[in-house]
Amino acid sequence: MKAKKTAIIIIGIIFISILISLFYQDVWDRNAKLLKEKVLSIEETVEVVYLSDITPFEWDVVYFFDPYTSKDKVYDVIGYKWDNINETVSEGMNQIVFLKDGKVVCYLYGYPVNNGYGMVFTGRDHKNVAAMLEAEDNTAFRITRAEGILYLKNIE
DSSP 3-state assignment of 146? Answer: strand
pLDDT for 87 equals 81
CA distances to 4, 7, 9, 12, 14 from 1, rounded to whole Å, are: 5, 10, 13, 17, 20
Side chain identity at residue 45, one-letter code: T
pTM greater than 0.85 (yes/no): no
| Listed range (2-11, 45-54, 139-148) with the worst mean pLDDT | 2-11
Average pLDDT over residues 14-29: 59
Kindly indicate the confidence band of residue 22, based on its pLDDT and cuts at 50, 70 and 90.
Answer: very low
Average pLDDT over residues 111-123: 92
Which comes out higher in pLDDT, residue 6 or 74? 74
Residue 18, pLDDT above cutoff 80:
no
CA distances to 48, 49, 149, 150 from 44, rounded to whole Å, are: 11, 12, 12, 10
Q: Where are the alpha helices (DSSP H) in the chain?
A: 2-23, 27-40, 51-54, 71-78, 112-115
Contact by Cβ (8 Å): 90, 34 = no
pLDDT for 12 equals 55
Q: What is the pLDDT of residues 67-87, one digit of tens each?
A: 888 888 899 999 988 877 888
For residue 70, list its beta bridge partners: none
Closest alpha carbon to 51 in 148, 131, 146, 147: 131
pLDDT for 86 equals 81
